[in-house]
Amino acid sequence: MHLPRLFSASRPKTSGCLTVAIFLLGLLQPVVSQESNKVNLRFLSFPKAMKAVELELRLSANKTEPIKAYSHEISQPISVVTSGVWSVGETIENAEGKEVFVEYGRTAATNSPRQLLLLIRKGTENSDGFDLVALDESGDAFSGGKFLFMNACKVDIAGVVGEEKFLVKPGTHQIIAPKTEADERHAHAMFYFRKGDEARPFFSTRWAINERARSMIFFYHDPKNMRIRMHTVRDFR
């Protein structure tokens, strides 16, 4: 941020003007410091559900922020003070009648001023806990035209999208940017799971490649028959 030009080059600097400049600088510096200490944080939950996950984000020892994480779309951003760790849970009243924060999940934050927090439920109730994944949303880290693959299965998942290959171990994720010909707006996608030493195909399709859209694909086991399913969320930047 630049200060206004307060002095003419042909006029000498007086002590009064200098005092005013120092005073203005003192007012501006805290504003810059506060802005640089903020993070825009958005949320997405999995597995898919009709209702949003409602939790609290812990900001300090005595302060929390209510959050909602949907499974079909990324939430609107909230602006919070930057932190090295993101922790979610809820405030309850203990046996002594005091309010205490119970943590359901945590993860290391990224250094980005814009972050996406994935909340992966471990059970049907919030108290069953969450696995958290913090993603960098700034710049080209996870921009349009890219695909994020999150493996919530118990087996390795591999795939090819266009000419890009990927492998995701259980509980991990990977981001790829498929390459296509200049006039081609779709890419063939093929997915496999590991069974012993074999790669078994389980899904094939053609996906649109849009430089304004990014896709998040979650692989998971259908609880009814344990077959591998996919849940996809597209987000336009």
Report CA 209 to chain centroid distance, whole Å. Answer: 21
CA–CA dist 81, 107 (Å, integer): 16
Query: What is the domain range of residue 117?
Result: 37-136
What is the amino acid identity at position 178? P
Are 146 and 127 in a shared domain? no
In a domain, 85, yes or no: yes
Q: Is 115 within 8 Å of 124 (Cβ atoms)?
A: no
The residue among 6, 10, 1 whose CA lies nearest residue 18 is 6
CA–CA dist 168, 171 (Å, integer): 8
Are 226 and 147 in a shared domain? yes
What is the amino acid identity at position 174? Q
Are 43 and 132 in a shared domain? yes
136-143 own/partner pairs: CB under 8 Å, 24+ apart: 136/110, 136/111, 136/112, 137/40, 137/42, 137/112, 138/112, 138/113, 138/114, 141/112, 141/175, 142/116, 142/175, 142/214, 143/214, 143/237
Report CA 127 to chain centroid distance, whole Å. Answer: 22
Report CA 60 to chain centroid distance, whole Å. Answer: 20
Among 89, 109, 136, residue at a domain's last position = 136
Are 157 and 229 in a shared domain? yes
The residue among 170, 110, 165 whose CA lies nearest residue 142 is 110
Among 117, 136, 155, residue at a domain's last position = 136
Burial class (CB in 10 A: 0-12, 13-18, 19+), 68: middle
Among 91, 120, 136, residue at a domain's last position = 136
**Considering its fold, how many domains does the chain have in total?**
2
The residue among 23, 220, 45 whose CA lies nearest residue 118 is 45
Looking up tokens 């001023």, which residue turns up? 113
Looking up tokens 């779309």, which residue turns up? 73
Are 59 and 129 in a shared domain? yes
> How much is the pTM?
0.77
The residue among 145, 149, 147 whose CA lies nearest residue 210 is 145
pLDDT tens for each residue of the chain, 237 residues long: 332 332 234 444 445 554 544 444 554 444 444 456 999 999 999 998 889 999 999 999 889 999 999 999 999 999 999 999 999 999 999 888 899 999 999 999 999 999 999 999 998 899 999 999 999 998 788 998 999 999 999 999 999 999 899 999 999 999 999 887 767 788 999 999 999 999 999 999 999 888 889 999 999 998 889 999 999 999 987
**Per residue, what are the HEC states of 150-213?**
EECCCCCEEEEECCEEEEECCCCEEEECCCCCCCCCEEEEEEEEEECCEEEEEEEEEEECCCCE
CATH number reported for the structural domain that contains residue 96 in this entry: 2.60.40
